[in-house]
Amino acid sequence: MTTASAPVLEIRDLSVSFPTETGTVSAVDGVSLDLAAGEIVGMVGESGCGKSVTAMSIAGLLPGSARVTGSVRLDGTQLVGARESALRRVRGREIAYIFQEPMTSLNPVLTVGRQIGEVLQVHERMSRRAARARAVELLTLVGIPSAAQRVDGYPHQLSGGMRQRVMIAMAVACGPKVLVADEPTTALDVTVQAGILHVLRDLRDRLGTSVLIITHDLGVIADIADRVVVMYAGRVVEQAPVDDLFAHPRHRYTAGLLSASPQPGRHAGTDRLTEIPGLVPVLASQPDACTFADRCPAADERCRTAAPPLEGIGGADHVAACWYPCTTAPTAAQEANR
């Protein structure tokens, strides 16, 4: 999606490494991405490829041992290296987070209303009474039925889906510009997931919130994202508007991922899934190679000796880091559509 206005969030060349006993591990290696106002960007990638570390580094949520370089600008304000007091103001008010397991982020001994209310009392200096009334509104906004009663309930009295709705209500309490949702539906059943995705989309439509949603589920991406960022071993390997990415994946990993997923209407009796051979690499450990080279059917010497740059392919809004990007061979999804 090309938007004329400057992005709300602009990440440039972000790298994160952690010192460990066996040396420094590089978790994120030169990630750049933009989030426009009211845009939903989906981030996909395998376990350990650096999605959560990227997300946490945006508002300085990583442990103190993390070494973060590069730039994260929120409406022009630099957040990398900002003071903790400044970051605390940003968190909650301007950038809010929701995570996979809502129970661990909720306080079990406080009512739902008190927890949402506290956010409002601290950040918006609301009175306790006003905060409670606003909490009821927020719970209604995120689709909790009989919010006026639920507001006095405790987290353990709620189902997983309801708790995630409470987390979202808390996250949007102060009207943040950016909502970072790290696997918000992974622990939920599909019937409940559909409701949560609906709430996120609705918030974007009504409040204009920009959303960065992290998932490993291509169905969730197809459902909710305007634009997609594909990560592999600590790097962004492809970025494109959602339709373009699914119809014309350019990076060989993206293409492999799309054809590895079972498609509706296909059965093992007549069809084989395309496998991606080899192991998932743990980290970006090869500065002078494509990190996918070990598993890529098209890899050659060049791929093993030089890292491909992230470049525009077929338009500036579609970028991929691949020496031999896929041409427009149809993907399994396209085949299924025929």
Ligand X SMILES: Nc1ncnc2c1ncn2[C@@H]1O[C@H](COP(=O)(O)OP(=O)(O)OP(=O)(O)O)[C@@H](O)[C@H]1O
Our finding on whether 18 is near ligand X (CB under 6 A) is yes
CB of 287 to other proteins, least distance (A): 23
Q: Mind giving me the DSSP string for 247-282?
A: HS--SHHHHHHHHHSPPTT--TTT--PPP--SPPP-
| Residue from the set 283, 292, 313, 332 that interacts with ligand SF4 by CB under 6 A | 292
CB of 183 to ligand SF4, least distance (A): 25
> Distances in Å between the alpha carbon of 202 and those of 5, 156, 205?
22, 26, 5
Residues 149-168 that bind other proteins (CB under 8 A): 159-162, 165
Instruction: Report strand pairing: 227-232 vs 40-44.
Output: parallel
Residues 43-102 that bind Mg ion (CB under 5 A): 52
Rg, C-alpha atoms of the chain: 21
Query: Are 13 and 32 spatial neighbours (Cβ–Cβ below 8 Å)?
Result: yes
| Residue from the set 61, 80, 82, 298 that interacts with ligand SF4 by CB under 6 A | 298
How many amino acids of this chain bind ligand SF4 (CB under 6 A)? 13
Our finding on whether 290 is near ligand SF4 (CB under 6 A) is yes
Our finding on whether 298 is near other proteins (CB under 8 A) is no
* Among ligand SF4, Mg ion, ligand X, none, residue 323 binds (CB under 5-8 Å by kind): ligand SF4
Our finding on whether 154 is near ligand X (CB under 6 A) is no
In this complex, which beta carbon is closest to other proteins, that of residue 46 or of residue 124? Answer: 46
Residues 6+ apart with CB under 8 A from 113: 132, 135, 136, 151, 152
Beta strands in 55-132 (DSSP E): 67-74, 77-78, 95-98
In this complex, which beta carbon is closest to ligand SF4, that of residue 18 or of residue 324? Answer: 324
Give the torsion sign (CA, 103, 225, 143, 127): positive
In this complex, which beta carbon is closest to ligand SF4, that of residue 37 or of residue 299? Answer: 299
Instruction: Count the alpha carbons within 13 Å of 214 in the hemisphere toward its beta carbon.
Output: 22
Our finding on whether 63 is near ligand X (CB under 6 A) is yes
CB of 213 to Mg ion, least distance (A): 12
Residues 223-282 that bind ligand X (CB under 6 A): 282
Query: Distance between CA 223 and CA 238 in Å, rounded?
Result: 19
* Among other proteins, ligand SF4, ligand X, none, residue 161 binds (CB under 5-8 Å by kind): other proteins
- Partnered with residue 230 across adjacent β-strands are 44, 238
Our finding on whether 76 is near other proteins (CB under 8 A) is no
| Residue from the set 51, 114, 204, 250 that interacts with ligand X by CB under 6 A | 51
Query: Distance between CA 114 and CA 112 in Å, rounded?
Result: 6
Tokens of 82: 């900002």
The site for ligand SF4 (CB under 6 A) is made up of 251-252, 290, 292-293, 296, 298-299, 303, 308, 322-324
The site for ligand X (CB under 6 A) is made up of 18, 20, 25, 27, 45, 47-53, 63, 216, 282-283
